[in-house]
Amino acid sequence: MSAKSSGGADAHKRRAGERAAEEVEDGMVVGLGTGSTTAYAIEALGRAVADGLEIRGIATSFQSRRLALDVGIPLTDLDAVDGIDLAIDGADQVVDDPDSPAHRALIKGGGAAHAREKLVAAAADRFVVVADSSKLVPVLEAPVPVEVLPAAHTVVADRIEDLGGDPTLRMATHKDGPVVTDNGNLVLDCAFGSIDDPAALARDLSSIPAVLEHGLFVDFADTTYVGTDDGLEVRS
Ligand code: 5RP
Asked whether 136 and 91 are in contact (CB, 8 A), the reply is no
Closest atom of ligand 1 to CA, residue 130: 10
The Cα–Cα gap between 176 and 126 comes to 40
Q: What is the pLDDT of residue 45?
A: 98
- What's the whole-model pTM score? 0.95
How far is C-alpha 146 from the geometric centre of its chain's CA atoms?
A: 13
The tens digit of pLDDT for each residue in 108-128 reads: 999 999 999 999 999 999 999
Query: Distance of CA 211 to CAs 23, 154, 197, 200, Å?
Result: 34, 12, 20, 16
Note the pLDDT of residue 117. 98
Q: Cβ(36) to ligand 1 under 6 A?
A: yes
Q: Residue 6's pLDDT is what?
A: 46
Would you call 236 exposed, middle or buried from its count of C-beta atoms within 10 A (0-12, 13-18, 19+)? Answer: exposed
Query: Can you list the residues of the chain whose pLDDT is less than 50?
Result: 1-2, 4-6
Residue type, 141: E
Q: Which atom of ligand 1 is nearest to the CA of 132?
A: 12
Specify the pLDDT at position 73: 98
Residue 150 per-residue DSSP state: G
**For position 205, what pLDDT does the model report?**
98
Cα 100 to Cα 74: distance, rounded to the nearest angstrom:
40
147 within ligand 1 shell (Cβ under 6 A): no
Q: Are 149 and 194 in contact (CB under 8 A)?
A: no
Residues 37-53 pLDDT 10s? 999 999 999 999 999 99
pLDDT at 176: 82
List the alpha helices (DSSP H) in 29-152: 36-50, 62-71, 114-123
For residue 38, the ligand 1 atom closest to its alpha carbon is: 10
- The pLDDT of residue 7: 59
Annotated active-site residue 141? The verdict is no
34 lines ligand 1 (CB under 6 A): yes
Q: Determine the distance separating the centroid of ligand 1 and the alpha carbon of 135, expressed in angstroms.
A: 10
Strand partners, 178: 171
Kindly report the length of the chain: 236
Q: How many helices (H) and strands (E) does the chain have?
A: 6, 14
37 lines ligand 1 (CB under 6 A): yes
